[in-house]
Amino acid sequence: MTNAKPMKEMLIEEFTKNYIEKLFYFCLKKTGNTAEAEDLASDVTVHILLALRKGTLPESFSAWVWRVARNRYAAWAKRKHISNETISGADIEEFELASDFSPETSLIEREETELLRRELAFISQSYRDILLAYYVEDRSIKEIAASLSQPEGTVKSNLFRARKILKEGMNMARTFGIKSYKPEDISFASSGNQPSGLPWSAVQRKIPKNILVHASNNPCTLEELSIELGIAMPYMEEEVALLEKATLLKKLDDKYITNFFIVDKEATFAEYAAMRKHSKERSEMLDKIVSDVLPEMRALGIVKNGMSDNDLKWWAIIYASDFCVIQKIKAFDIKFPEKRVNGESWGFVGYEKLENFPESVGMGHNGSGNEANMFWAYKISDYNLWNRAGEMHYHETLLLADIVRNNRNISSLTDSEQAIWKGIDGRFAHTDENGNIIPDIIITDNAAFEKIHSLIESHPLYSQVMANAEEAFDACVEALRARSHPAIANQLTYCASMEILGIRMLTVHDEVEAGRLTPPENPKKSTIAMWLHLK
């Protein structure tokens, strides 16, 4: 009794061992689409296995396999109505699909092809090109080496490595997308000028956001990004190239890392703890300073109407906090440390959105006007005060500035100025019975600021406030340092400077909670914490 395998079983084994991979490359070359290549390769495989199981014993096995492949491609092309495709091959022969062919066999072969398609999608382009050239285009090592301007030994080793990667990948049970994030859970903030539209134009889609989040503090190869995010290698290569050009990714040897901080939940809570530590003592000292110097501030003429001390204090307490943090913390600097390759200088920070955070810490600082005349508003995120009476537009700012500088009466306004005045009247200024225009926001100039700064710095509690603020800033830096890769260590101070601005809102919360500040009764018409600065 012989143990030799029947010829048809030997041919089936030969086919599954040595031709499945090559067939997929052939189909990929013909279709130019991985999904269609998968379908075509499955169709070819089914017809070949059917013929072998039915007893077909070709004289030249290799020639027969490729003739079947070309014939099945011809049938596929006709069905797809591809009129401009040149069908290569000899005689067109059809192989009937037997009604008794095992569906389990078809499923097994389809799964094998899917594995191959999957691994081709996640292999780097350099390996992919060599495999296609060698197996599909039937080019020699020498020819491939010449076309790539590489030594033959390099091509051989890369071909060996590519085979190994494919084999290892096909034997793996991969889990795709396990580290993918919901991009809507990430928000961003920036500083500086961005005339090119960067960085915002680079993060409008979900894929680049996910890449940046995954590579944040986590250097990854293209292959690792491709597999972890479930994005085919050709698309990943393109996306990474765009992000690298935008300077949002940087390359470390063969890996990529996000070139800015994405502050995760852990870092956010650590920074919040740093700012909240001793915050009530800091707020109380700031309140004492502002309350003591408020009469002298008012004496500077910055208030033109009957603004209450409470309303004036809303601006003064936030401005005093800003002065101590922005101008007096030694290491504070929101100028990004690196120049962009396009010559721009801007900074960028990402934030993972949080649920059930203890309190809001965001406060904006919006402006409108020109270098000599600027309207400013602190954007207060609580107490229905974010928008308040709104903000002055550019032409409104310039008109009110001219009115204040020249003490103009309503009767002096031209028709075009009257049209602009309608947006100011009753919101940011009003007229008295004589037609005099009275600003309802604070009016400052450089001399007034110099005096206010001097009043704050000369107060006995100032040094204690600064020691408290410096401690909070240093703790923010260390919270980031503990969670940062050395590649972006030079951004620690910049990021901490962006984060420490949360002291503004913490101070407001402390003041309201302690009853030292009272929110306005009509937030929609309020102009608290708004001012016009005249240089």
Structural domain count of the chain: 3
Q: Does any domain span residue 348? A: no
Cα dihedral sign for 393, 394, 395, 401? Answer: positive
What's the pLDDT score for residue 411?
96
Which of 260, 293, 324 is the last residue before a domain boundary?
A: 260
Distance separating alpha carbons of residues 422 and 45, to the nearest angstrom: 77
Distance separating alpha carbons of residues 497 and 331, to the nearest angstrom: 8
The residues, ordered by sequence, that sit 6+ positions from 513 with a Cβ below 8 Å of its Cβ are none
- 187 lies in the same domain as 67: no
Whose CA is closest to 40, among 90, 74, 76? 76
- 90 lies in the same domain as 226: no
What's the pLDDT score for residue 483?
87
Distance separating alpha carbons of residues 152 and 279, to the nearest angstrom: 67
Determine contact, residues 164/171, Cβ cutoff 8 Å.
no
What's the pLDDT score for residue 526?
96
Strand partners, 431: 437
User: How many Cβ atoms sit within 10 Å of the Cβ of residue 77?
Assistant: 17
- 32 lies in the same domain as 89: yes
Structure tokens at 306: 């009957």
Strand partners, 306: none
- 19 lies in the same domain as 161: yes
CATH of the domain at 200: 1.10.10.10
* Continuous H helices in 82-151: 103-121, 125-131, 141-148
Determine contact, residues 344/192, Cβ cutoff 8 Å.
yes
What's the pLDDT score for residue 97?
30
Distance separating alpha carbons of residues 310 and 316, to the nearest angstrom: 10
- 378 lies in the same domain as 459: yes
What's the pLDDT score for residue 336?
83
Question: pLDDT digits over 329-379, tens only?
Answer: 999 988 887 788 888 888 999 988 887 889 999 898 999 999 999 999 999
- 151 lies in the same domain as 227: no
3-state secondary structure of 466: helix
Q: Does any domain span residue 477? A: yes
Q: Does any domain span residue 299? A: yes
Question: pLDDT digits over 382-428, tens only?
Answer: 999 999 999 999 999 999 999 999 999 999 999 999 999 999 999 99
What's the pLDDT score for residue 93?
32
Q: Does any domain span residue 346? A: no
Q: Does any domain span residue 389? A: yes
Which of 121, 138, 170 is the last residue before a domain boundary?
A: 170
What's the pLDDT score for residue 88?
33
Residue whose entry in the numeric block shows the structure tokens 């943090």: 325
Which of 104, 137, 170 is the last residue before a domain boundary?
A: 170
Distance separating alpha carbons of residues 367 and 362, to the nearest angstrom: 17
Strands 346-352 and 262-263: parallel
- The residue ranges of DSSP E strands in 300-403, in sequence order, are 346-352, 363-369, 373-380
- 229 lies in the same domain as 319: no
Reported pTM = 0.65
What's the pLDDT score for residue 382?
94
Determine contact, residues 514/310, Cβ cutoff 8 Å.
no
Low-confidence ranges of the chain (pLDDT < 70): 1-5, 81-125, 135-138, 165-184
- 190 lies in the same domain as 284: no
What's the pLDDT score for residue 141?
87
Strand partners, 21: none
Question: How far from 339 is each of 12, 497, 520, CA to CA, in Å?
Answer: 61, 18, 44
Determine contact, residues 372/535, Cβ cutoff 8 Å.
yes
What's the pLDDT score for residue 354?
80
- 142 lies in the same domain as 243: no
What's the pLDDT score for residue 119?
56
What's the pLDDT score for residue 94?
30
What's the pLDDT score for residue 153?
86
- 242 lies in the same domain as 294: no
- 256 lies in the same domain as 279: no
- 329 lies in the same domain as 474: yes
Strand partners, 187: 351
Q: Find the domain containing 113 and state its range.
A: 7-170
User: Residue 425 gets which letter from DSSP?
Assistant: B
What's the pLDDT score for residue 91?
31
What's the pLDDT score for residue 167?
64
Q: Does any domain span residue 119? A: yes
What's the pLDDT score for residue 103?
40
Structure tokens at 451: 């005096």
What's the pLDDT score for residue 122?
56
Residues of the chain by 3-state class (helix, strand, coil), percent to 5: 55, 10, 35
Q: Does any domain span residue 1? A: no
